[in-house]
Structure 1
Amino acid sequence: MVEFPSFPGGATDEPDPAAPRYALYVAPEPGSPLAEFGADWLGRDCATGERRVQPAVEGLSADRLAELTESARGYGFHATIKPPFYLRAGRSEDELLAAFADFAKGREPFEVQLGLRSLGGFLALMMTPPDHRMSALAADAVRDLDPFRALPGDSELARRRTAGLSAQQETLLQQWGYPYVMGEFRFHMTLSARLPDGPERDAMVAALTPRAETVTAEPFRVDAVALFKQPRKGADFIQVERFGFGG
């Protein structure tokens, strides 16, 4: 039987499912072509909560497309910088907003080139090529904002471990509450569920490719981070506030 180390301080309480979760994302400016692309494809504008009719995809029914984008739709079109977390006891949302604003003030804008790629079977917009400035942004966010993160409960740890984590990912899970940060970070803006090779994947790629090309021809300017909030377990994440760099 595999044994996992415990967090410092012993076991943690399971979070209240009625409590909100927060995350720091890189997301396109609401109303921009990239934001509209993501909202249309996923069927929801994460800045307003507006539901949208998804495009027709040859070879897929509307219901099947909705199913294949369900998870990404709930999180909103974004790239994760600090993964979703519950607030640590004694911390407030106002304090978190102020910390996010201060974090953004110390950053400088930069540009990255995006392209449609596959990450572990998920279709996503990814950097082409990778850029160390994005990795540094994500690492700083995970580290600098960690005092606001409540430690995960046992059920959350167990759920993460079902993916079959490497030794490094287990260490990151223990230290930061999420296995895909720091050296395991991969910038991606998710557009689908995991898809095996086959007709459905081919249909999604064929539909996404021309749409993605229209919004990735020019570099993506990263000049802000956004606070996203999930009001309660199972609810959609919504963009609450954007924090411009150098602000």
Structure 2
Amino acid sequence: MRVALYWAPRLEDPLHRLGSAWLGRDAETGATLPQPALPGLDIAEITADARGYGLHGTMKPPFRLATDWHAFRADAMALAARTRPFALPPLVLAEHHGFLALLEGEKSAPLQAFCDACVEALDHHRAAPSPEEIARRRPERATPRQREHIQRWGYPYVFDEWWFHVTLSRRLTEAERAVVQPVLTAHLGEAPALPRSVTELCLFTQAAPGAPFLIAERLPLLG
């Protein structure tokens, strides 16, 4: 089993319904959902990888447990209990390293601090990655700083290399993006820009390699 610390929209947030429908799966229930049509393209293929991970923004990326679920959950609860809810900046749909994703409209210091705390405070629960897992991170393509993060934290995009993003596609060609982005923009409507607060830390689990990630628990921020 792997676990991850993610942000996910609250159930009553329209972004939960619309984003889950776009990906074709509800990470809360595991239900398969009908997806919008894409002219001349296979939306199921374009969203396959993102669908497996579920609608989310990464706080601490997936890892195998070196401890056990109960100890991990207790420390995650303690982190959530000492974190004060905060406003999430309006989200914007944009091209990001070839993917379409929802990004922060402006940088948020509380969001960065929360992500940093998730990475560091729970790291003693993370099992060391195997050589195969390290290889999948493509360290030969990483910057020196990113390679340092891979060695220390098992992932290149943490702390100064981290950015908030909610991935909604695979990498797209320019021609594909010209088709997908207008449809996705219309599908999401005003939902990304709605005011929202970060009030939960979501624990996601993956039962086995290749299995979809599911929300195991939503921990309220109580600070």
Indicate yes or no: 2:4 matched with 1:23: yes
- Aligned position for 1:79: 57
Residue of structure 1 aligned with 2:34, choices 42, 46, 53: 53
Quote the offset at 1:231 in angstroms.
0.2
Aligned to 1:193, what secondary structure does the other structure show?
coil
TM-score of the superposed pair, with normalisation by structure 2: 0.96
Whole-Å Cα distance in 1 between the matches of residues 29 and 202 of structure 2?
14
- Mark the runs of 5 or more structure 2 residues left unpaired by the alignment: none
Task: Give the AA of the match of 2:23.
Answer: L
- Residue among 32, 43, 50 paired with 1:65: 43
Residue in structure 1 matched with residue 160 of structure 2 by the alignment: 183
Unaligned runs of 5+ in 1: 1-19
Residue of structure 2 in register with 1:44 after alignment: 25
Partner residue, 2:80: 104
**C-alpha separation between the residues in 1 aligned to 2:140 and 2:219?**
33
Q: 1:163 to 1:30 in 2, by over 3 A?
A: farther
- TM-superposition CA deviations, 1:70-98 (whole Å, max 9, x none): 0000000000000000001xx21011111
Larger radius of gyration: 1
CA distance in 2, matches of 1:213, 1:132: 27
Match of 1:123 among 77, 100, 106: 100
2:147 aligned with 1:170: yes
Question: Which whole-Å deviations, capped at 9, do the CAs of 1:137-185 have from their partners, x for residues lacking one?
Answer: 1111100000100000101111112671110100000010000111110
Is 2:182 aligned against 1:206?
yes
1:217 Cα offset (Å): 3.2
Q: CA 1:145 to 1:122, structure 2 compared with 1: closer, same or farther past 3 Å?
A: same
Spell out, residue by residue over 1:26-80, the C-alpha distance to the aligned partner (whole angstroms, 9 max, x if none): 00112431100111000000000000110112332xxx21011000000000000
Match of 1:239 in 2: 215
Q: TM-score, normalised by structure 1?
A: 0.87
Instruction: Tell me how far 1:129 sits from its aligned partner.
Output: 1.0
SS state at 1:235 partner = coil
Alignment check: 8 A CA contact 1:115 1:212 kept: no
Aligned partner of 1:219 in structure 2 is 195
* Native 8 Å contact 2:19 2:188 kept in 1: no
Q: Distance in 2 between matches of 1:221 and 1:58?
A: 35
Amino acid at match of 2:14: P
Deviation at 1:220, TM superposition (A): 2.5
Q: Is the 8 A contact 1:115 1:213 kept in 2?
A: no
1:12 corresponding residue in structure 2: none
